[in-house]
Amino acid sequence: MTHQGDESQVIGLSEESILAEALDKAGRPGFADDSFREPLRVLIRSLDEEADLNAAGRFSMRTRIVDILVNRLRLEEYLDEYPEIRDEEIAAPFVIVGLPRTGTTMLHRLLSCDPKTNAVAWWENRNPAPFPGAEWGAADPRIAEAHVQVRAILEAVPELAAIHPWDPEGPDEEILLLEHSFYSTTPGSLAKVPGYDTWVKLQDQTPGYEYLELMLQFLQWQKRQAGNAGERWVLKTPHHLGFMEYLFKVFPGARVIQTHRDPLQTIPSVASMYYSLWRLASDDPDPLEVGRYCKEHYSNALNHCMAVRDSMSAESFLDVDYRAVVRDAMGEVRRIYDFLGLELTAETEKEMLWWVEENRRDKRAPHEYTLEQFGYSEDEIERDFAEYRSRHI
């Protein structure tokens, strides 16, 4: 359903035209791997029929999908020429999980200060495949493109700058790599897509996580060509909370750092962030609908994570309290390093202390929202997150 008055001007979201545009842009005759077809079809239908996209939203969603498909095609081209990409070993990664607004970004960027780690930068997430004609060692045009994209996002919705520290060159969530498989919860953060969201959560997520591994192999291979590959990946996304068993299936040696903060503080903040993102694509998203989605999505994800943890060795997990990170970030980093069995060098600690000072929360505008704005009450959140709050808060 759309609100454009002239239907002839509606930006098309047909599968055929999207695939044709991607193939034309990439200059490829076809896809070697078409495992994405079914989830893509479900996503397109949901965007077209449920998301109530405005013209800008339809354009941005179509562009995003085309770009993802072009990245897949460029990866296939590299695999044809450099099959050794698949031989890259992704050693057991360090994975930070937790609700948004629980300090995951801060910990991710602190651990990424260590030169022995690999992290996925925002610009690599958006364009994991080099642009045609790029040369190793030269200035990467993907970085300039990322700055343009972030600037456009913050110009469209300025309040996003108060919600999240946007850094085109900084480490960010690998869920944007996972999105290339179309087995991802990213679309639900950008628009109202209940049909797709429900469908994708019922699927076997193995193909998505295997494609994530391939993407990490591709990026690690690129880092190796540039002479800056680390020893271990440090990953971070709340997405893994709802699919923890697949994370360990594909990355069996993963070490998980789970951050905790009271959902009374986090869930309304998350809803505010999602509402701002939905507004990029739809003229009048319902804040109550956003609120319901965020509460159900994250309460289910946390319950799932707790169930998976109960079935696994406790040695694979370390719990980190957000309040402890705020009080003494470096103290918590040292505790994490002990858990991971790593040495925190004086040089790395110096880099981390610099990052903490440069990225103090009071350097950004305050993030303002209310529980009532999204239809919440304290009693309701306490009830729906009762088990999690009892165990971790």
Classify residue 35: in a domain, yes or no.
no
Confidence at 9, pLDDT banded by 50, 70, 90: low
Say whether pLDDT at 95 is over 80. Answer: yes
CB–CB of 119/234 below 8 Å? yes
Amino acid at 361: R
The secondary element (H helix, E strand) that includes residue 147 is helix 141-156
Classify residue 83: in a domain, yes or no.
no
Task: Count the neighbouring beta carbons within 10 Å of the beta carbon of residue 84.
Answer: 10
Classify residue 182: in a domain, yes or no.
yes
Mean pLDDT score, 202-218? 98
Classify residue 383: in a domain, yes or no.
yes
- Note down the domain range covering 311: 93-124+140-392
| 311-369 residue pLDDT tens | 999 999 999 999 999 999 999 999 999 999 999 999 999 999 999 988 775 555 566 77
Which residues lie below 8 Å from residue 306, measured CB to CB, with a gap of 6+? 387, 388, 391
Which of 299, 68, 25 minimizes the C-alpha distance to 190?
Answer: 68
| 36-52 residue pLDDT tens | 999 999 999 999 999 99
Task: Count the neighbouring beta carbons within 10 Å of the beta carbon of residue 68.
Answer: 22
Phi (first) and psi of residue 319, to 5 degrees: -95, 135
Q: What is the pLDDT of residue 1?
A: 44
d(CA 216, CA 91): 11
What's the CATH number where 387 sits?
3.40.50.300
Task: Count the neighbouring beta carbons within 10 Å of the beta carbon of residue 362.
Answer: 6
Q: What is the pLDDT of residue 29?
A: 96
Classify residue 14: in a domain, yes or no.
no
d(CA 385, CA 302): 8
Confidence at 4, pLDDT banded by 50, 70, 90: very low
Classify residue 251: in a domain, yes or no.
yes
| 232-284 residue pLDDT tens | 999 999 999 999 999 999 999 999 999 999 999 999 999 999 999 999 899 99
| 53-76 residue pLDDT tens | 999 999 999 999 999 999 999 999
CB–CB of 251/136 below 8 Å? no
Classify residue 77: in a domain, yes or no.
no
Task: Count the neighbouring beta carbons within 10 Å of the beta carbon of residue 248.
Answer: 18
Q: What is the pLDDT of residue 366?
A: 64
Tokens of 105: 């970004």
Q: How many residues does the chain have?
A: 393
Classify residue 103: in a domain, yes or no.
yes
Overall domain count for the chain = 1
Task: Concatenate the DSSP letters of all residues of 273-333 into one string.
Answer: HHHHHHHHH-SS--HHHHHHHHHHHHHHHHHHHHHHHHTS-GGGEEEEEHHHHHH-HHHHH
Say whether pLDDT at 136 is over 80. Answer: no
Q: What is the largest CA-CA distance in the chain?
A: 63
d(CA 194, CA 173): 22
